[in-house]
Amino acid sequence: TASRRRQSRSSLQRRDARIPMAPGAIPALGHALEYKKGPPAFLEKSQDAVRCPIFRVNLAGRHMIMIGADVELEWQMARQPESVFSSRMAVANVGFDYTLGNENVFVGTD
């Protein structure tokens, strides 16, 4: 439902605020130009700058959370259930809940 999406968005925004933003974003484009020059170098430089294996980037208005090179963090992520890293809310926010229906987006078609 719409209220569920609004509530989830606000909780995601609060959570995301605790994750450092990569430096060097420019208005409107964010980090997109720097990323386009060389994604691996950009990600490595950003991780070094924020001194954290998890950081946020803005690629021309598309806000993303990046997971850098950290063996322990990668291991923890690999052991999480599917629901933790589900993209269902992102799919709904794009508008697929209207085209596919809530049941298909939030429950699945298995």
Burial 57-87 (b: 16+ CB within 10 A, else e): bbbeeeeeebebeeeeeeeeeeeeeeeeeee
pLDDT, one tens digit for every residue, the chain (110 residues): 555 555 555 665 666 678 999 999 999 999 999 999 999 999 999 999 999 889 999 999 889 888 888 888 888 888 888 777 777 776 676 676 667 777 776 777 55
What per-residue confidence (pLDDT) applies to 23? 96
pTM of the model: 0.59
Residue 108 and residue 106: Cα distance in Å, rounded? 6
Residue 40 and residue 36: Cα distance in Å, rounded? 10
What per-residue confidence (pLDDT) applies to 8? 57
What per-residue confidence (pLDDT) applies to 1? 56
Domain boundaries, the chain: 19-68, 80-110
What per-residue confidence (pLDDT) applies to 84? 75
